[in-house]
Chain A
Amino acid sequence: MRMDKLVLVLATFALAAGLYVSNIQIGVTLGQELGLTAKYVDGQLPITSPDSTIWGEVEAKEVELGPQLTAAPWIHPKPSIRSLRVRVIHNGTWVSFLLEWNDATKDDKMLTDTFRDSAAVMLALQPGAGQCMGTPTAEVVIAHWKADWQRDVNEVFTDISELYPNFWSDWYPFAVGDPPYTLPNLMNLSTAKEYFAGWYVGNPLSTPLKLTPVETLVAHGWGTLTTYAFQSFIGRGIHDGAKWSVVISRPISPGQADPPWGDGGPVEVVSAV
């Protein structure tokens, strides 16, 4: 992921059965260790509420971010975001991660030369998957929260009229209604969708209908990141002018179609911002 203000790879920790986080290593090269416990919370979790008061009752761990230098696109060794605060809670059914980092600018629109803010949690659910994008024999599951998706979900799909308020397009093939045309309601005919190739072929990045700002992906090595057929993660991010607070949640056992947590043994987790 090319992210000029993002830093990839930050934390590796073992997630034992019962969601007790016993051992966190911060960045492969830094060798720092943290202890972080997924606190048990009775009742409903704030699975999409980063501003819930429940989070205030959970100890946050400051996680130092390290650069990803293993494979292109690598991140230069001077990341703009150097640390992250992580909280983890569970209620036996769901697990929620709260990621917070300082960022004075809210980048949730994408022009040709701008990139969105985003954050990810990677679960190495199979033994031997390692800390970075898995291996050909052991895949990893990744939950990727994206600020532009959050904007799409919160407000309205960010189409051209949102990016360029003074932009005007006249006739557009197969659109319904009158300009300015908006996605997806005025472009929903299959003939109109053909002009949005990514949407037409089902690329989740291209669909104007976003149900959640978090994408569930799998990878089994560098360059293999793929949207997973079963979207099990949800979440929400808010920006208060000084920092992002993003919660990413998933049922512990969402069903057979989802990658299972494993055999109950330790699970490595890597986060990225």
Chain B
Amino acid sequence: METLGEQKWEAKRYAGKTVFELEDRPNKENPVAGYFPEDLDYAHPNLGEDEVSGVLETEGGYFPTIPKPLWMFYLPRICNHCTYPACLAACPRRAIYKREEDEIVLVDQARCRGYRYCIEACPYKKVFFNLMTRVAEKCIACFPLIENGKIPRCFETCIGKIRIAGFISKPDSPNPENPIDYLVLVIKVALPLFPQSGTEPNIYYIPPINVPLNFLRMMFGPGADNAVKTYRAVMEKARQNGLENLDDEDLKLIGLVTLANSTNRIVHRFRIIRETLEIVGYDEHGGGLVKVPISEPKHVREFYDQRLKVYRHNIT
């Protein structure tokens, strides 16, 4: 983003230049404006990942507030398999291609000759130079799994169970029964990272709601305000009124969060069962894949254990 310099948003429309249009780019040999990383940039890839941002003002005592003065969040970043891949545009050998069937972007390992224009061009730095094979490599979105109707491995093994993989419709014709369409195109709580790059990345994030909005706008664009507002409102309603009193739309958002990672198959369609507060995922042929309770059973124990004559630390 430093390469792009100062650019403008007009309301929610990006009016600046993208990596494809910047004439004043660092490397004129490369048709795409980018940053060519130094070897040392890869030396400590996780340096600082657990550090917090913000300033804790302690003078006069500290009182917890929302948003919290200190905050951090993890941002899992894989290749975005962009609609307009900068890596593909930069490759003078046409060794990078986008598959027609699923739009996965791949580096042809037989054609690549290690020129590394793609590494410079990718705004997300998701193409890497393999020092052993001396050619560029990147995430393949586990395409053999996708071809078999399954989600990629990093989605399947996500310990937070917060990833959903699927296919997205064109922006002007969303299918509200498709999980991805619903989150990205209908209620717009899931946003692309650094949309101003112009590559139209295809990984979408639900922004963390307790992070300062200025920061989220920088990362996800002006849509962050609406995403946080929508998500927070639904969660607030659920907390105050209970799930059973939410309307169908609000239930869908909570249901989809619950549905994430509950199956290793790609969910093409979902449906809420209000009576039982469950969400059902279907495959591309309409076959049922998984049924998940939106509300987990809650058990509350007595604060004081009569038998052991001790107080419990955790009663739920």
Q: Please list the residues of chain A having a beta carbon within 8 angstroms of any beta carbon in chain B.
A: 1-2, 71-76, 110-114, 148, 159-160, 163, 183, 196-203, 205-206, 208, 222-223, 225
Q: Which 7 residue pairs are nearest across A and B when measured between Cβ atoms? A: A198-B133, A206-B133, A111-B39, A197-B109, A198-B135, A112-B129, A2-B115
- Residues of B269-297 at the interface with A, using a CB-CB cut-off of 8 Å, are none
The docked-state distance in angstroms from the alpha carbon of A113 to that of B36 is 8
Q: Is B51 an interface position by the 8 A CB rule?
A: no
A191 to B117, CA, bound (A): 30
Q: Evaluate contact between B116 and A2: CB separation under 8 angstroms.
A: yes
Of B30, B110, B114, B132, which contacts A159 at CB under 8 A?
B132
CA gap between A74 and B28 in the complex, in Å? 9
Check if A76 sits within 8 Å of B28, measured CB to CB: yes
12 additional contacts (CB under 8 A) given A197-B133, A198-B137, A203-B133? A111-B131, A112-B39, A112-B116, A113-B37, A160-B132, A163-B131, A199-B132, A201-B110, A203-B112, A205-B114, A206-B109, A225-B113
Residue of A nearest to B38 (CB): A113
Contact residues in A for B119 (Cβ distance below 8 Å): 112
The one of B31, B37, B41, B128 in contact with A72, judged by C-beta atoms closer than 8 angstroms, is B31
Interface of A is mostly: loop
Q: Which residues of B contact A148 (CB under 8 A)?
A: 134
Distance in Å: Cβ of B15 to nearest Cβ of chain A: 28
B44 at the interface (CB under 8 A from A): no
Among B110, B128, B135, which residue has the most Cβ atoms of chain A within 10 A?
Answer: B110
Which residues from B are CB-within-8-Å of A75? 29
Report if B93 contacts A (CB, 8 A): yes
> Which residues of chain B from 97 to 152 have a CB within 8 Å of any chain A CB?
109-110, 112-117, 119, 128-135, 137
Chain A residues whose CB sits within 8 angstroms of the CB of B8 once the complex forms:
none
Is B92 positioned at the interface, with any CB of A under 8 Å from its CB? yes
Query: How many angstroms between the C-alpha atoms of A201 and B94 in the bound complex?
Result: 17
Q: Which one of B29, B31, B134 has the greatest number of beta carbons of chain A within 10 Å?
A: B134
Which residues of B sit under 8 angstroms from A74, Cβ to Cβ?
29
A52 to B41 CA separation, bound complex (whole angstroms): 43
Asked whether A113 and B31 contact (CB < 8 A) given A159-B132, A203-B112, the answer is no
Closest residue of A by beta carbon distance from B91: A223
